[in-house]
Structure 1
Amino acid sequence: MNFIKGFLKFVPIFILAFLIMTGMDVLIAAPIATLLAFIIASLTEKLTFNELIDAATDSVKELIIVFFILMFAYAMANAFMSTGVGASIVNIALSIGVTARTVAVCGFLVTSILSVATGTSWGTFAACAPIFLWLNHILGGNILLTAASIAGGACFGDNIGLISDTTVVSSGIQKVDVLKRVKSQIVWSVGCLIISAVIIYGISIAMNLPMEVANAKEAIDAIPAEAWTALEAKRPAAIELLNQVKIGVPYYMVLPLFLVIGCAIAGLPTLVCLFLGLISSFLLGTFAGTVESLAAFLQLTQDGFSEAGSWVIVMMMWFGAFGGIMSKMNAFEPLSKLILKISRNVRQLMFWNGILSIGGNAALSDEMAQIVTIGPIIKELVEKSVYGSEEDIETLRIRNATFSSTLGVFGSQLIPWHVYMGFYIGILTSVYPLFKFEAIDIIKYNVMAFVTVGSLLILTLTGLDRLIPKFGLPKEPKVKLKKK
């Protein structure tokens, strides 16, 4: 009887995963799963209507500050893409001269920086794919290595960017400060970036690729009209960035990015960092001529608020309510007991939290759905199963947040049926119709995904994370499992 009851409590997750995997919009799937959880909680736990409503709304209330951060993050992403901040990053990188041997690593580094600046992996990939794929074509580089490299680089900002929705949401669910979380993993994240860049360049050398130099203008001029049309339909902001790259923008337009990063390092609140990024991009963009007027810039900001509110925030509210109801009926208790049973110490427990994140990502085929569905499970596993000081428990929650976003965005790069891969293949096919791209091709050459996912799990399990500044987990017996 207890088994049947426990199974019934997990049915909403199975239904949610099934609906998303069959292609249903998450904004429809989440309410259906929430309603089902509501009914099952009423039947199995005899919870009243008001008790369940309170559980759902209390869960959503915890995300309010996250909603504000997301709105400003989307607004700043729009501003950076439109005022020339993104284009200046690309042009600075390309000014050093790119060859077939360096085009993949250059695209990787440019997309990494641009994704931090704009907070969007999808927008970064859509903006940079036309430039680097056609530049690769002109130079005679390896198309799969270049495509996979910019795919991996575009996710870097989603792993560590202050304005990335995945970073903000994963931190919010685990109740950890975004800045503190970013600082804890910055050495490890940058280390993965450097190691990946070296490997990508090494592969290019091993392929014995040519060393003739070309430029971005030639690559953009080579983009066929049908590719421009397809890109306009999928990512309109990318068109503006491509045009700015072609005509050029002042290099000082990169300063808003450095200002935001500098303020974050200085410890200023995330909302302050975002506000300063918006203001500086407006002032410098006005001086550079990339901002038409205050009214036009305010429209960019409004569009960013609308974009966040039309999908991400609404989706998070439904998933927040879903998680609140699931937690109220202790739906995750059987899973928690299983993981606790097979874990001999806290470090193994954290490793299994990482595996849960990857498994949820593969099942749901959407990194944000994984973050808001699996996030509460791994949060509860730590809070209810581990003894430790408040500071040590916070360190574990920070690692959970890292699992959620890192194994969400980079894990998606290793899952052929993930929505990320579908988006990438769609963009690649549209902007470079000369090659038939397959998901497995992108996976094979995505060095950054293998390095990041592999290192995170191995470092967590072995304890070697203690060798990385601010990244190590607390040792036993400072923390220990509540086995008994």
Structure 2
Amino acid sequence: MKKGNPWALIPFVVFLILFIGSGVMTGDFYAFPVIVAIAISGAVALAMNRKESFSRKVDIFCQGAGNLNVMLMVVIFLLAGAFSEVAKGMGAVDSTVNFALSVVPQNLLVVGLFIIACFISLSMGTSMGTIVALAPIGVGISGHTDLSMTLVIAAITGGSMFGDNLSFISDTTITAVRSQGAQMKDKFKVNFWIVLPAAIITGIILGAITMGETAQVEHLSYSWVKIVPYVLVIIFALAGMNVFLVLALGIVLAGAVGLADGSYHVMGLFQKIGEGMAGMYEIAFLAILIAGMVEVIKFNGGIDFLLHLATRRIKSKKGAEFGIAGLVSLTDLSTANNTIAILIAGPLAKNIADQYGIEPRKSASILDLFSCSIQGLLPYGAQLLAAASVAGISPVSILPYSFYPILVGICGIIAILIGYPTKKKA
């Protein structure tokens, strides 16, 4: 294997200095726009390697940015954003939350909030959206009962990471699948059986901690019809339908429900679709810019150097899987964003997976599992910061009750050790 060129990694270093440096200085890791940090890093990549003409380097950048998988990812991002916004706008989130709260036993309310967060995040495809929807409810419940605020908020943030890691419309799932060339349903099945024990054990722990405590929730109204688009999208995706068709049908179904019950008029529906797509512009352009920058870094020998560094002590397939897990975990610790971590680590993980015969569904699963596990434990990550802000508590105080992200990491390690999943028969 080529040893590569460590100097080619300078753009990565520039990105981390800009992103982390600004976070340390301001106390806000989201103060410096990440897209600007990537744009500057991309410019640094283009300025390197004086042996090549600038025009040639721009061509290389554009070839990487316009990669087939990247463009597919971008379109899926836009469709996922449109579906999520249309469904939310016609009341699907409120109906789902109210239905779930109505059927949860009063003595299992914290367990119920965790399960509700799991389902909503699986339906919406966003941990942040789930936290925004549920955290105020959790604060209200805690304020009227003896239930610990930090415990309630930790249950909600833990459940929100469940769908972030599994949902067919989650940006992390889309990124992991596309970067590894995996099938969405295959990756889902692998991930689901790994995280299910973590979810069950988390529910048992939360139930044991709150045993004997009860809380009253007033009767809440909901509509079955508004929940249907979420359920059908999950069913269609599991059935193996093309992700473009799944998301398009989801938009049509959610839009039809909204038009029928008066939530939308025709132009209002189209505006919501536009708003949903616009909400994904940043992550779409991030994917494009990162892919272009990585292609230039690869051309300059940076990826070869990282591959040599990451694999020089690897002696087996399991070692390679742990290498991918460590790579994406360190990247997420550095960027505090699991989608960006997968975007950066994905190409390198793909090279390692190909070299050691790791199936795409497994490498995609590892990327998503460990990035979400780390993300759910970062006190400077968006999820814990948002939840703590709503609750008026310190994000660090949530960590002692963050059972689910810890258990996801443990289950991911066990899956690697036992060789799950076994290789598909040809």
Q: Same fold (TM over 0.5)?
A: yes
Task: Name 2:52's counterpart in structure 1.
Answer: 47
Alignment of 1:147-166 (within 5 A): 147-166=153-172
Identity, in percent, stands at: 20
What's 2:308 paired with? Answer: 337
Label 1:324 to 1:427 Cα distance change in 2 as closer, same or farther (>3 A): farther
Following superposition, the deviation at residue 212 of structure 1 comes to 4.3
Which blocks of at least 5 consecutive residues in structure 2 are unaligned? Answer: 24-31
TM-score when normalising by structure 1: 0.80
The equivalent of 2:249 in structure 1 is 276
Work out whether 1:456 is the aligned partner of 2:412: yes
CA drift of 1:465 comes to: 4.4
> Do the aligned residues in 1 keep the contact of 2:131 with 2:383 (CA within 8 Å)?
no
CA shift digits 1:211-236 (9 cap, x unpaired): 24332x7xxxxxxxxxxxxxxxxxxx
Q: For residues 54 and 403 of structure 1, what CA distance do their matches in structure 2 show?
A: 32
Structure 1 segment 56-455 matched on structure 2, within 5 A: 56-62=61-67, 63-99=70-106, 101-205=107-211, 208=212, 210-215=213-218, 248-289=221-262, 291-309=263-281, 311-383=282-354, 385-386=355-356, 388=357, 393=358, 395=359, 397-429=360-392, 437-455=393-411
Q: Is the 8 A contact 2:342 2:371 kept in 1?
A: yes
How far the C-alpha of 1:126 sits from its partner, in A, is: 0.6
Name the SS for the 1:139 alignment partner: coil
Unaligned runs of 5+ in 1: 218-245, 430-436, 479-484
Counterparts of 2:121 and 2:88, CA distance in 1: 10
Partner SS for 2:279: helix
In 1, Cα distance between equivalents of 2:300 and 2:336: 26
Deviation for aligned residue 1:102: 1.9
**Cα deviation digits, residues 4-54 of structure 1 (max 9, x gap):** x833222221211121112421111001111112223x14xx333343223
C-alpha contact (below 8 Å) 2:311/2:323 kept by paired residues: no
C-alpha contact 1:250 1:288 (8 A) present in aligned 2: no
Displacement of 1:474 in angstroms is 7.5
User: What is the CA distance between 1:473 and its match in structure 2?
Assistant: 5.5
Secondary structure of the 2:311 match is: helix
Q: Which residue pairs with 2:26 in the alignment?
A: none
1:94-143 Cα deviation digits (max 9, x unpaired): 112553x4222111111111111111111110111111221122132121
How far apart are 1:283 and its partner, in Å? 2.1
Aligned match of 2:27 = none
Report runs of 4+ in structure 1 exceeding 6 Å deviation: none
**Letter aligned with residue 116 of structure 1:** L
In terms of mean alpha carbon deviation, does 402-411 or 260-269 score higher? 402-411
Deviation, structure 1 residue 261: 1.2
Whether contact under 8 Å (1:360, 1:370) holds in the other structure is: yes
For residues 181 and 331 of structure 2, the distance between their equivalents in structure 1, rounded to whole angstroms, comes to: 20
Change (3 A) 1:459 1:54: same
- CA displacement 1:225-267 (0-9 Å, x = unmatched): xxxxxxxxxxxxxxxxxxxxx6x33123211112111111211
Q: Which amino acid aligns with 2:184?
A: V
Does the 8 Å contact 1:158/1:166 carry over to 2? Answer: yes
TM norm structure 2:
0.91
